[in-house]
Chain A
Amino acid sequence: MKIVIAGGTHDAEYLVQMFNTRKNKLIVINNDPVESNLILKREKVAVYTGDPWRYYVLEESGSKNADILVSLLDNDVDNYATCILAKNCFGIKKCICVVNNPRNVELYKTLGIDTVVSATYLLGQTVKSESSVEDLIKTLSIENDKIIMVEVPVLAKYAIAGKKIMDIKFPKYASISCIYRDPTVVIPNGQVELKVRDKLLLVCAPEDEKKLRAFITKEKED
């Protein structure tokens, strides 16, 4: 893989260490001459010194048609400009943009950047998923939040516990992709009975998550 690492300090060094193998071709660009020298000395890779958001810098550093570009500059808009340039003019397949302001995550995606990473945003997401562990349901989003996977343990109080899948009128907007029944994995069909302590792995669209949770966790009426 051809990987371009633009800007950054210790984060750039870490990525260089991680990906500097025979399989990868690394292109390291840094706008700070001091940092460029440090990376060169510590990691023994060639570093191109220049502003990665400039056309000639990406051109001269040989970044054309790279597989991935990671933009680690201090300033959000500089990362934005670098990714847009890489995407529009250099045919770089995936651009990963690091931002400080978590609100830029969604915004930059709508403006055409593949992957936007914000430490604060990730922190928020982690807090969110940790807090729903409280009610034992974990959610994982796939394909930039277009699909989500929900993991739910079957509790004895749930209406679905002890019933066959064919009998519970499982909603059409979701599907049970598998059932984890320690230590085995059960592939679901209509005849399978949902037992207490089973873990269901469900797939649905994000807008249906609430409905799905409500359906699964509906308690028995006595």
Chain B
Amino acid sequence: MRNKTLVVGCGRLGAAIAAEASVKGGNVVIVDKNAVSFDRLSDTFSGYKIVADLTDIAALEDLGPKDFKEAVISTGNDNLNLFIANVLEKVYEVPHIYVRFDDPDKSLLLKGYSNIMPIYPFELSHANYLKLKSEAAKK
């Protein structure tokens, strides 16, 4: 049954999202290739912490990817994020996939993938800067 949330990459963003989902009662699995990264997780997190390198498809299979209803992918490697997102949609048909990309050009590679929702910190920062600037100009 699809009832789990997968979070890949336990950085600041991954850790925050995983903790939130867990507090709300979600069934959360967080994966990082370094066990040390899990130190970032708050004590309220009650899901599974798994040390694995998802460049290897076998590691992804071990997680039981058919049980995921959503996935949040935010490792520091754009190419890895792209690959995991593509596999989760094409092979395991995960319905909601949120992916962070540092390089906004990655949007060009998501044609034909309707379940993947990209997040670009660059664009968010840029939009925020413009907003703050226009507010400052009004003062």
Which residue numbers of A lie inside 8 Å of B, CB to CB? Answer: 53-56, 75-78, 80-81, 84-85, 88-89, 101, 103-104, 107, 110-111
- Tell me whether chain A's interface is mostly helix, strand or loop, or mixed: helix
A26 to chain B: closest CB distance in Å? Answer: 24
Contacts of A56 in B (CB 8 A): 105
Which residue numbers of B lie inside 8 Å of A, CB to CB? Answer: 55-58, 77-80, 82-83, 86-87, 90-91, 103, 105, 108-109, 111
User: How many angstroms from the CA of A111 to the CA of B113 in the assembled complex?
Assistant: 11
A85 touches B108 (CB 8 A): yes
Kindly identify which residue among B55, B82, B87, B91 contacts A84, using a CB–CB cutoff of 8 Å.
Answer: B82
Contacts of A107 in B (CB 8 A): 57, 87, 91
B55 touches A77 (CB 8 A): yes
- Tell me whether chain B's interface is mostly helix, strand or loop, or mixed: helix
Kindly identify which residue among B58, B79, B108, B111 contacts A80, using a CB–CB cutoff of 8 Å.
Answer: B79
In the complex formed, the residue of B with least CB distance to A87 is B109
A89 to chain B: closest CB distance in Å? Answer: 5
A88 touches B108 (CB 8 A): yes
Kindly identify which residue among A55, A75, A78, A110 contacts B108, using a CB–CB cutoff of 8 Å.
Answer: A55
B111 touches A88 (CB 8 A): yes
